[in-house]
Amino acid sequence: MNLTHTAFVNRFTRVEPPTICVVASGADVCEALGSSSSSAPWQVEHYDSAEAFLASPRALTPACVLTELRLPGLSGLDLQREILHRPELPVIFVSADPDVQSTVEAMKHGAFDFLTKPCPAHLLLQAVRAALERSCVALRQLAQTQALQQRYDSLSRREREVMGLVVLGQLNKQVGVVLGISEITVKAHRGKLMRKMQAASFADLVNMAASLRA
C-alpha cells in the first residue's frame, strides 16, 4: 500500500509513534532521516553495533531496522539472521559498496529492501514507510495469534480433546466413543469450547485450529 506523507502521518499519530532502528557505525543514515523527515510520525533510535541492538528491549510498536552490511562485531547479515523469527521487524540494508553475494544473501533471507549509498532521501523514506506498513500488518497478525492462543489455553483438557476430534470431522457420537463419554457430554463440551474460542461456526473453529497448528 502506498501512502502519501499526510496519510501516513494521520495513520500513525493516533497511536505510539513507530520506531526506525538504525544499526550503523556512522551517523549518516540517522542524519539523512532526521533532515528529511522532521515532521514524520516516527522516532529514530541509533545503535552502533548489532550487539547493542539485540540487547535492547523489544519494541511493541511498528518498527523497522536500517542496517549496514559491515558493522563492528556481528555484521548486518548476522543481525538479519538473528531476527529472522521476527516478521514484525523488516530489515532494510543500506550500503555504500554492496557486493553481489551479500545482496543476494540478504534478499534470500527476506530483506525488505537493499539501498545503495548515497541514497536519495525520497527513496529512503519510501522504503521506511513501506517497511513500517508491513510491520503494522505483522503486529496485527501477531496480536490475533496471541489472542487465539489465549482462548485455546482457557479450554479444559477435555475441551481440547473434543476440539481436536471435532475439527477432524468426527461426529459427536464418534467423539464420545473415542473419549469414553456420552454424546450428551460431548455436546456440552462442544458448546463450551465454541463459546470460549468465540467460534461463530464449525468452519470458523476449523480455521482456528489450523492457525494454532501453523
What value does the mean pLDDT take over residues 95-107?
A: 89
pLDDT tens by residue, 139-189 = 999 999 999 999 999 999 999 999 999 999 999 999 999 999 999 999 999
C-alpha cell at 207: 480455521
Of 11-15, 18-22, 115-119, 142-146, which gets the smallest average pLDDT?
11-15
Residue 5 has pLDDT above 70, yes or no: no
Q: What is the pLDDT of residues 41-90, one digit of tens each?
A: 788 899 999 999 999 988 778 999 999 999 999 999 999 999 999 999 99
| Strands (DSSP E) found in the chain | 19-23, 43-47, 63-67, 91-95, 113-116
Kindly report the CA angle at 31 between 46 and 113, in degrees rounded to 5? 70
Q: Taking the model in full, what pTM does it have?
A: 0.75
| The predicted structure's pLDDT at residue 13 | 40
> Over the chain, what is the mean pLDDT?
87
Q: What is the pLDDT of residue 29?
A: 66
In the DSSP assignment, the letter for residue 75 is -
Please report the pLDDT score of residue 109 as a whole number. Answer: 92
The stretch 6-13 carries a mean pLDDT of: 44
Residue 98: its pLDDT value, please? 82
Q: What is the rounded distance in angstroms from the CA atom of residue 170 to the CA atom of residue 201?
A: 15
Query: In Å, what is the CA distance from 177 to each residue of 169, 170, 173?
Result: 14, 10, 6
Domains of the chain: 5-142 (3.40.50.2300), 154-213 (1.10.10.10)
pLDDT of the residue at 14: 46
pLDDT in tens, 123-151: 888 999 999 999 999 999 999 999 999 99
